[in-house]
Structure 1
Amino acid sequence: MRSLPVLPAAAGVFLTVAGFVWFVTEPAAGVPAATVSTPAAPVFASSMQGTRPDGQLTVRQEQLQTDPELLYLFDYYLSAQGEKSLPDILTAIRAELRQRLSLSPKALAQAEQLLNRYLQYKKALVVLEKEEAEAGSQLSTAARLRARLARLHQLRVTVFSEKDAAALFALEELRDTDALRRMEIFEDSQLSAEQKLQAYAKLDASLPARLKEEREAPQRIQNVEQQVAQMRVSGASEQDVYQFRAMQFSADAAYRLQELDREEQQWTSRIQQYQLALRQLLQLPDGPLHLPATLTPAQQMALQSLRNQYFSPQEQQRLAAYEGRT
């Protein structure tokens, strides 16, 4: 699914630990709105253990607010492909939408229509990427990126309306445009190193507030988490940690960070148990763990059985580093 960026409470938070990504956001100020949260629910896929569905849906005057939050919800479930079939995933998404939007039939219909369009967009995106890979190009990286962003924008406004495409992808396109401008500066052979630094600084100064917050977020998270580590060494309780994080970010962000801490602990514990069982299975010596270069068919079968015991197919893709493989 979907380290870290946390934004201030009024903006949003992207969090990634042990392969799971969250987006935390606060309701926008202004028009009163009903923001629908997600209660605890059975785990949809094993890789989602300890997580909650992403995305806060907001309804204003019976109308669903179209914004990236809806896509975060869709992508949360779509990330389970490989563990779950697409029909099962779509069933889960629609059930989630019905649960959250049960009091607003109009908003529910909007959400389901946008889900259908998003699936259409995803399929078209696969085709676009395949065509790009097959075509190849002698263009510079910046030129290829510029052409790709143009194609992406055209695809979005074709599948969605101009209004919905802007609401769903405007921030992403701002990020992409900023990346393009930085690549153009990097590839400009007529600029000296000092001139490039000046051009980058000028871009930094002209960034929209939301992107500035995103760029500053990693350092802010790092500073807060360093203080959290010091608190724990000093004997602070998890409730103390939660309250401190809530003061720095928001109550919801603090809760999600707490969940990620728990998830990271569970992942570490599983890895340790697996490595111990792996050493016993293959009779490996003490010291750094390294799988033998060759295994007998019986050992390969036993190893795969052990992996299946501890990890989902998706999680097994991340085991190389923990097995001493490169």
Structure 2
Amino acid sequence: MKALVYIPLLAAALLLGWQLTRSTPPTPAPTHAVVAADAAAQTAPASLLRETPASSTGAPQANSLRGTEVDGRLQVDADGNLLISDQLRHLFDYYLSTAGEQDHGQIVAQVQALIRDSLDDPARSQAMDLFQRYLDYQRALVELEQDFPAAADIDSLWARQDAVQRLRADLFSPAEHQAFFAAEESYNRFTLERLSILHNPNLSDEEKAQDIEALRESLPDAMQALLVPQIHQDLRQQTQALRATGANEGAVRELRMEMVGPDATARLEALDVQRAQWQQRLDDFARERDAILSQPGLADSDRDEAVQALLDARFDSTEQLRVSALMR
């Protein structure tokens, strides 16, 4: 899942719209039914795992994938049925990510060969069917995108999300839908609700920040574990982008308030102060060390002793390990 949340708000809406409809080049094919493994089978023991063989004729042919570890696994339950999990989508996307580098038919043939080499029936037929329906989904997603404008408001983004979910429900069983898309859809819903708060003209900036934090805290713990790292990754990237353009700390604070709320913003600002103080100590030490090293007439041993004395005076033993590593 790579949902995107950007500030300013218009950019957030546009980029989220792109995220909700991203796709790989499709291939026309009929839709078939698949026997999905029972959801409880997702806890199958590791002994039932069948990993993709490196020597398979379905091994990745694209230069960009050579030497990489295959992302995703093919698994079966105790009865030999295909185990439905997010590993299947990871596997499909791993190969489909080479679109443009390889002919689409070649990519499809590699995945099909991998399935044939790795699984026996009934799991083999089930995996073939599910892969075909995933390709159908990719094709339908492109067609669905044509019904939505490129520049969309919040209502259009909600409509787009609902349409994508209906498409998935039509093509996949509940177990498949859950395994393939649950985390992504939860993140998208959270993002849209967050954008709705940000666009609410009746709320002050402080109220918006508080509502966003309450929204995040209202999520189940398991979902927060999925969302919070992505939110902070997005925040780091956007903060770096803001600072790279010369934005002041007020703009950074506004971004943080909107994305993670007042409490987390206060913690991040305290961390900024700590980092700035640490960097200043490093800069002061480096300047004085350079002055010692540049003194003429000092023996190497005297320079080493003077630098060590400076290090001892400025940093404790734990900090000295960090300083030494940085200075190297």
For 2:109, the equivalent position in structure 1 comes to 91
For 1:107, the equivalent position in structure 2 comes to 123
**Residues 62 and 102 of structure 2 are in contact (CA less than 8 Å); yes or no, is this contact kept in structure 1?**
yes
Q: Deviations along 1:106-148, whole A, 9 cap, x unmatched?
A: 1111110001111111101011112323xx67x63x2121100
Matches of 1:98 and 1:209 in 2, distance apart? 39
Say which SS state the counterpart of residue 105 (structure 1) adopts. Answer: coil
For 1:126, the equivalent position in structure 2 comes to 142
Matches of 1:29 and 1:74 in 2, distance apart? 18
Work out whether 1:187 is the aligned partner of 2:204. no
Aligned CA distance change for structure 1 residues 30 and 126 (closer, same or farther; 3 Å): closer
For 1:297, the equivalent position in structure 2 comes to none
**Residues 71 and 91 of structure 2 are in contact (CA less than 8 Å); yes or no, is this contact kept in structure 1?**
yes
Query: Offset of 1:205 from its aligned partner?
Result: 1.2
For 1:292, the equivalent position in structure 2 comes to none
Query: Offset of 1:186 from its aligned partner?
Result: 0.9
Give the alignment partner of residue 65 of structure 1, picking from 83, 88, 91.
83
Query: Offset of 1:217 from its aligned partner?
Result: 4.0
Structure holding more strand per residue? 1
Matches of 1:195 and 1:89 in 2, distance apart? 50
Query: Offset of 1:47 from its aligned partner?
Result: 1.3
Matches of 2:123 and 2:131 in 1, distance apart? 12
**What's the TM-score once normalised by structure 1's chain length?**
0.52
Matches of 1:155 and 1:92 in 2, distance apart? 26
Give the alignment partner of residue 37 of structure 1, picking from 42, 48, 51.
51
**Residues 182 and 200 of structure 1 are in contact (CA less than 8 Å); yes or no, is this contact kept in structure 2?**
yes
Stretches of structure 2 that go unaligned for 5 or more consecutive residues are: 3-40, 234-328
**Residues 43 and 49 of structure 1 are in contact (CA less than 8 Å); yes or no, is this contact kept in structure 2?**
yes
How is 1:75-90 mapped onto 2 (pairs within 5 angstroms)? 75-90=93-108
For 1:209, the equivalent position in structure 2 comes to 221
Q: Deviations along 1:82-102, whole A, 9 cap, x unmatched?
A: 12112211110011112332x
Aligned CA distance change for structure 1 residues 31 and 73 (closer, same or farther; 3 Å): closer
Residue type at the aligned position of 1:38:
T
Work out whether 1:50 is the aligned partner of 2:67. yes
Residue type at the aligned position of 2:113:
A
How is 1:1-326 mapped onto 2 (pairs within 5 angstroms)? 30-32=43-45, 34-41=48-55, 43-61=60-78, 62-101=80-119, 104-133=120-149, 140=153, 142-217=154-229
- RMSD, aligned α-carbons: 2.7
Residue type at the aligned position of 1:119:
L
Aligned CA distance change for structure 1 residues 43 and 169 (closer, same or farther; 3 Å): closer
Say which SS state the counterpart of residue 168 (structure 2) adopts. Answer: helix
**Residues 194 and 212 of structure 2 are in contact (CA less than 8 Å); yes or no, is this contact kept in structure 1?**
yes
**What's the TM-score once normalised by structure 2's chain length?**
0.52
Query: Offset of 1:105 from its aligned partner?
Result: 1.1
**Residues 40 and 52 of structure 1 are in contact (CA less than 8 Å); yes or no, is this contact kept in structure 2?**
no
Aligned CA distance change for structure 1 residues 68 and 201 (closer, same or farther; 3 Å): same
Say which SS state the counterpart of residue 129 (structure 2) adopts. Answer: helix
Q: Deviations along 1:134-172, whole A, 9 cap, x unmatched?
A: xx67x63x2121100110011111122344323322222
Residue type at the aligned position of 2:110:
A
Residue type at the aligned position of 2:54:
A
**Residues 60 and 110 of structure 2 are in contact (CA less than 8 Å); yes or no, is this contact kept in structure 1?**
no
Stretches of structure 1 that go unaligned for 5 or more consecutive residues are: 3-27, 222-326
Q: Which has the larger radius of gyration?
A: 2
Structure holding more helix per residue? 2
Aligned CA distance change for structure 1 residues 219 and 75 (closer, same or farther; 3 Å): closer
Q: Is the deviation greater in 184-193 or in 34-43?
A: 34-43
Q: Is the deviation greater in 32-41 or in 153-162?
A: 32-41
Matches of 1:194 and 1:52 in 2, distance apart? 46
Q: Deviations along 1:164-221, whole A, 9 cap, x unmatched?
A: 3233222221111111111111111111111111111112212233432234547999
Q: Deviations along 1:220-246, whole A, 9 cap, x unmatched?
A: 99xxxxxxxxxxxxxxxxxxxxxxxxx
Query: Offset of 1:68 from its aligned partner?
Result: 2.2
Say which SS state the counterpart of residue 63 (structure 1) adopts. Answer: coil
Percent identity (aligned) = 35
Say which SS state the counterpart of residue 76 (structure 2) adopts. Answer: strand
